[in-house]
Structures are given as C-alpha cells and as structure tokens.
C-alpha cells in the first residue's frame, strides 16, 4: 500500500512540476521534418528531474522516454545529445528500469515493456562494472556523456574509450536511484 501511495504522489507531483516545463524542441512535426517513416526522432529535454517525472513528461507530450535497441541507435542519440544538449548536462534518463530481482533480462524498457537486450554498461577505472545496484536501490538507468575521446572523470572515475571504431560511443550506461535528478530524452517514431 505504501508503494502504491508513493507512486501516486510521485505521479501527481510530476504532473504539477511538468506543467512548468516547456521545451521548444518538442513539436512532433518539426522533430520528424527530415526523418523517414518509422525513424526515431529525439527531443533533448534539458531539465533535471527524477525518472518518474521524465517518464510522465514524455507521455504527456505523446512521446516515450528514450529506448535504445542497437549501437547504431545509440550513436544517433549520441550525435543528437552532442548537437543539442548543453555541455554541462552529463547524464540523461533512459526508459530502462530494473524488473524483478534477478533473471536473464533484469532490466526492461518501461515505455514498451520489452527486455533490454542491447546495452552499453560502463566500467570504472577500478573495475566496477555497471549495473552495480550501489546501496541496493538503483533501479533506473542513465546514459552518461563522456566529454573527452580518451577519458572522463565526470561521474564514476576514468573511462577508456576506443577511437578506432567509427561508431565509438562516447556514452556509457549506469544504474541510478530513480529519485536522482538528470536531464532526459523523449523519442517519437515519425
């Protein structure tokens, strides 16, 4: 009962808080202007909110919190973030959430309930592999921007990236507390 009431309060607060936010890049027609049918268009939302607020905001705009199903998709998203997100924003909520305690697919894409198959979990310089469920309550997922081609110390320490692969991603995923506040990305199929 507590969890149900807590979720109800989160959703209610999300609607109130999201009414205050308007982002100029959320016009579906403009987002899909140069996209082919069924191609994804992304809207970078530069407001730092918790995961619940991000999810509700995207749904209120008839969009989804971003789902990434391949390296190519993540590369496109990375390019959008590089082009449109302010450089001070280093982490963005994804739709992925922990589902159950363990199992073959412990994370699902909440926006469509599909299992997370493709992933891009990071590893810190001290060898801590994400997801690590630090503190036992990291149930939501962010993608973290790596600001240098070689290393970054922004969030978890130093990360090494490969520069040989043309689709080398400068972003890595980590699990986080859903109550933490990060920017986010909404997506829509054109």
Render pLDDT for 49-59 as a digit per residue (tens, 0 to 9): 999 999 999 99
What are the C-alpha distances in Å from 48 to residues 28, 63, 91, 94, 110? 22, 18, 9, 13, 19
What are the C-alpha distances in Å from 128 to residues 158, 162, 164, 189? 11, 19, 24, 35
pLDDT mean over 74-91: 90
| CATH topology assigned to domain 2-21+33-189 | Mannose-Binding Protein A; Chain A (3.10.100)
Question: Which two tokens mark 178?
Answer: 């859903």
User: Is the pTM of the predicted complex or chain greater than 0.95?
Assistant: no
Q: Is the confidence at residue 124, as pLDDT, over 70?
A: no
- Per DSSP, what are the bridge partners of residue 140? 97, 176
Q: Give the burial class of 20: count Cβ atoms within 10 A of its Cβ; 0-12 exposed, 13-18 middle, 19 or more buried.
A: exposed
What confidence category does residue 171 fall into, taking pLDDT thresholds of 50, 70 and 90?
confident
Q: Is the confidence at residue 96, as pLDDT, over 50?
A: yes
Mean pLDDT of the chain: 78
Q: Is the confidence at residue 11, as pLDDT, over 90?
A: no
What are the extents of the domains in the chain? 2-21+33-189
């Amino acid at each position: 009962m507590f969890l149900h009431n807590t979720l109800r309060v989160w959703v209610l607060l999300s609607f109130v808080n999201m009414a205050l936010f308007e982002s100029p890049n959320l016009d579906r027609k403009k987002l899909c202007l140069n996209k082919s049918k069924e191609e994804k268009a992304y809207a970078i939302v530069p407001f730092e909110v918790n995961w619940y607020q991000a999810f509700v905001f995207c749904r209120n705009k008839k969009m989804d919190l971003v789902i990434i199903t391949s390296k190519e998709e993540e590369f496109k998203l990375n390019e959008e973030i590089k082009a449109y997100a302010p450089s001070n924003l280093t982490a963005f909520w994804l739709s992925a959430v922990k589902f159950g305690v363990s199992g073959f697919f412990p994370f699902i894409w909440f926006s469509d309930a599909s299992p997370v198959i493709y992933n891009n979990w990071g590893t810190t310089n001290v060898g801590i592999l994400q997801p690590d469920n630090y503190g036992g309550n990291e149930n939501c997922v962010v993608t973290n921007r790596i600001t240098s081609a070689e290393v970054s110390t922004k969030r978890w320490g130093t990360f090494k990236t490969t520069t040989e692969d043309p689709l080398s991603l400068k972003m890595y995923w980590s699990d986080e507390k859903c109550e933490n506040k990060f920017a986010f990305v909404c997506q829509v199929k054109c």
